[in-house]
Amino acid sequence: VASLKDIAGSLGVSVALVSKVLNRRMGTSGCSEKTRKAILAKAKQLRFRPNPLAVALRAGRKGTVGVFVHPIGNPGSGLVESLLDGIAEACNRNRERIWLSFFKTGDEFGERAPSEAQHEVDGLLLAGVSHPELAPLLRGFRKQGVPVVSVCTRPVLPSIPNVFTDEEALGYLATRHLLERGCRRIAHVGRLPSRIRGYRRALRAHGLPFSPALVRETKEFALGEGGAAVRAWLAAGMRFDGVVAQSDNQALGAMYELLRHGRKVPQEVKVVGIDNSPICDLSPVALSSVSQEMQEVGRRAAEMLLDGIAGKRMSSCVVPPQVIRRASS
Amino acid sequence: VASLKDIAGSLGVSVALVSKVLNRRMGTSGCSEKTRKAILAKAKQLRFRPNPLAVALRAGRKGTVGVFVHPIGNPGSGLVESLLDGIAEACNRNRERIWLSFFKTGDEFGERAPSEAQHEVDGLLLAGVSHPELAPLLRGFRKQGVPVVSVCTRPVLPSIPNVFTDEEALGYLATRHLLERGCRRIAHVGRLPSRIRGYRRALRAHGLPFSPALVRETKEFALGEGGAAVRAWLAAGMRFDGVVAQSDNQALGAMYELLRHGRKVPQEVKVVGIDNSPICDLSPVALSSVSQEMQEVGRRAAEMLLDGIAGKRMSSCVVPPQVIRRASS
DNA sequence: CTGTTAGCGCGTTCAT
DNA sequence: ATGAACGCGCTAACAG
C-alpha cells in the first residue's frame, strides 16, 4: 500500500527525489547523504515496493511473459510441473507476471493465443515438442520485436535460442551408468537418434562393440514398445544384461516383460529409463533413471528470456542430465 | 499497438468518447449513432485491445491473481497440471495475469510469498492439502481485503470458499461401480474418512453388509500400503472380489500383490483406484479409476475468485467425480 | 451529443 | 541538491 507519494509526503520531499534515490538513478545530480538515508530508511519501514503495473506502463512494457506449453514428456512424467516450477521461480524473482496457456494439439497452438498475445507480453517462452507448425507462430512474435525462447527437444528455428537437456548426454549417461554397474551387453530401445548416438558413444568409450540387433527403434515413448522390444530380443535369442530405455514408460514395459519371462531384475538384467518420473518409485523394482532436470531447464530458459527482454543477447544452451540410481541397476 | 488515442486521432474525436463507447459506459449522456458506428468500426479495424496494465492501474487493481500451489495428489498423478490448465483458461478469458508459486513444504508456504504478494494481487487461489498452517496466511490476505479461494481436500477455514471434488462421492462412485460390475464383497484401503463414508453408503444402498475387517486405514496414499492391505486380508483368510483404493498408487500396489498371489484381475478380483492418473494406463492390467476432474475444479475455482474480485459473493462448491472404466473392472 | 480535466504510480527531463 | 512538469493508457466526473 505504500507508494512513492506516501514516503515523499511523510518526509516532506518530492516524489521524484524519492524515485531517484530508490532506483540509484540520480541522473546528472546528487543528493545529500542525510535525505538519502532518510528516504531509504522510510522506504524500508513502510515496506515500499514499486507498483509493477505503473513501472511497466511507464516503461512501455507489459510486465508479463507468455508461457505457452505444448504436451511434453509422457503423461505422468511430471516434466511440465517441474518446468513450470523453474519458470515461475525465475519470473517471480524478476517480478514478471505470467500469461499461461496449455495447448493439447498442434492446431490449437497456431490458432488461439498468438494474435492476441503478441501485443500483451514482453517475451514468449514456448515449451513443448519441436514441431514445424510452431515456426510461423514464433516468427509473428519476433516480427513484433518480442523475444522468444523455446524449450524443446530440438531448436524450432535456428534463430531462436533453445534451452533443453543435452539429448545425447541422456543416452550416454544412461549407458555409462549400466557399464559402471558391470553390464557388458546392453540393449537399447527408443525413438530419438540423438540418444542412440549417446548410447553408441558410451559403448565406444568403453571399447565395446555396437550391435544393431540390440537397438530397437520405436515410434513413440510408450510402455508397450518396451515390452515388444524385450520380446523381440528374447525371441531372436539375443543375450543381454542391461536395457537402456528412452523413457521410463518403455523401461517399465521392458521390466514387466523381463519379469514375466522369469529374468531377474537387476541380478540378471539391469534396467535404466529416462525422465526420472514418479513412476520410477512405483514400478515392481524401483527404476533407475536419468533426470532431465526440467526445473533447472525452466529456470535457465526464463532467465535467458528476461535477459533478452532487457536487451541482452540470448544464445541456446543445454542442461546436463543427472543419473538417479535405484534398485533396477 | 492500437490505443484509444490512435482511434480517436484517426476519427477526429476525443479519447474519452472512444473509451465510453467501447465500454458501453455512457454515463448520463448518449452518442450519435453515426460516430458510435464509426468508432466501433475503427476499433475493429485496428484490432484495438485495451492495455490491461493501464486498465488495472486506473482501477486501482493489479491485474494479477496469485496462484499458490502446495503438493497435491501423488507425484505422477498429473493433478496439478490439470488444475493449472483449468485455472489458466479461466484467467486468460478474463485477461488476468498469474503470480505462480510452488511450495514443497508447509514451512516454505508460510514464510515466503505472502507478505510481498498480498499487495500485488487482486485475489488468491490456494491449492493443496488442507493444513492448519495455512490459516494465518489466508487471514493475512483477507485482512487486506483480498478475496481468497482455496482448492483443498477440505476447507481450510470456514470463512473461505473452497472448491474441490466431492470426497464422499469418490468413495461412493468407486464402490458403486464395482457393485455394478458384479462384486459383492468389496474391500477398501485408504486414509480419508469421507471416502470411507462414501464406500459404506454405496454398500448400504445395495443392501450389503459393512465388514470392518475389509477396511484398511492407511497413513498416506502410497503404493506399498495397497500391497500391505492385500497381504493382510489374504493372511486373515478374508474373501473379497473387489478392491476400492483411495489412490491409483494404492490400487496399483494392491494389484501387484494380487497378481503375485495368483489372483486374476479382473476375473477373480476387480480393482478400482482414485485420481485417474497416467499410471492407470501403465499398470499390468489397465486400472479403472475415479477422476477428480481437476481441470474443471481449477476452472470453477478461478471463475469464483474472479467473481469475488468483482465484488460478488463466493460460496464453496463441489465438483462431481467421474468413473473411468478400464480393464481392471 | 461531445470535449476537457484530472489522476492511478512511476521515472525522466529540465529548471531552479 | 531538489523539485516541477510531463506522459505511459485509461476512465470518471464535470462542463459545455
Question: Residue B35, CB, less than 7 Å from strand C?
Answer: yes
d(CA B301, CA B62): 19
What is the model's pLDDT at position A70?
Answer: 86
Q: Cell 499461461 appears where? A: A100
Residue nearest to nucleotide C13 (CA to C1'): A27
| Axis-axis angle for helices A223-235, A248-260 (nearest 10) | 40
3-state secondary structure of A207: coil
**Do A291 and A321 form a contact (C-beta atoms < 8 A)?**
yes
**Which of B77, B122, B282, B283 is best to mutate for the A interface (most A CBs within 10 A)?**
B282
The three grid cell numbers given for residue B247, joined into one nine-digit string: 489412490
B288: β partners: B272
pLDDT digits 0-9 by tens, B24-74: 988 777 788 889 999 999 999 999 999 999 999 999 999 999 999 987 776
Q: Give the angle A276-A277-A283 at the CA atoms, nearest 5°.
A: 100
3-state secondary structure of B205: helix
Q: Does B136 touch chain A (CB under 8 A)?
A: no
B window 139-198, beta carbon within 8 A of A: none
Amino acid at the residue A241: D
| Axis-axis angle for helices A52-59, B52-59 (nearest 10) | 140
Q: Does B236 touch chain A (CB under 8 A)?
A: no
Q: Where do runs of H (alpha helix) occur along A152-293?
A: 167-180, 193-205, 223-235, 248-260
Average per-residue pLDDT for chain B = 92
What is the model's pLDDT at position A137?
Answer: 82
CB atoms within 10 A of CB B162: 24
What is the model's pLDDT at position B106?
Answer: 63
Measured in degrees and rounded to the nearest 5, phi and psi for residue B212 equal -55, -30
Q: Considering CB atoms only, which of A49, A97, A252 is closest to B99?
A: A97
Q: Does B235 touch chain A (CB under 8 A)?
A: no
Establish whether the linkage from the previous residue to B266 is cis, with ω within 30° of 0. yes
How many Cβ contacts (< 8 angstroms) between chains A and B?
107
Burial-class residue B318 by CB neighbours within 10 Å (0-12, 13-18, 19+). Answer: middle
Nearest to A230 by CA among A209, A248, A244: A244
pLDDT digits 0-9 by tens, A200-239: 999 999 999 999 999 999 999 988 999 999 999 999 999 9
| Contact state of B54 with A49 under an 8 Å Cβ cutoff | no
pLDDT digits 0-9 by tens, B128-177: 888 888 888 888 899 889 999 999 988 889 999 999 999 999 999 999 99
Handedness of CA B11, B16, B17, B19 (dihedral sign): positive
pLDDT digits 0-9 by tens, A9-50: 999 999 999 999 999 988 777 888 899 999 999 999 999 999
- Residues of chain A found within 8 Å of residue B119, distances taken between Cβ atoms: 1, 49
Q: Does B88 touch chain A (CB under 8 A)?
A: yes
pLDDT digits 0-9 by tens, A63-100: 999 999 987 777 778 889 999 999 999 999 999 999 99
Q: Give the angle B249-B73-B79 at the CA atoms, nearest 5°.
A: 105
What is the model's pLDDT at position B250?
Answer: 96
pTM attached to this predicted model: 0.90
Question: Residue A23, CB, less than 7 Å from strand C?
Answer: yes
B98: β partners: A98, B65
Q: What nucleotide is nearest A51 when CA is compared to C1'?
A: C9
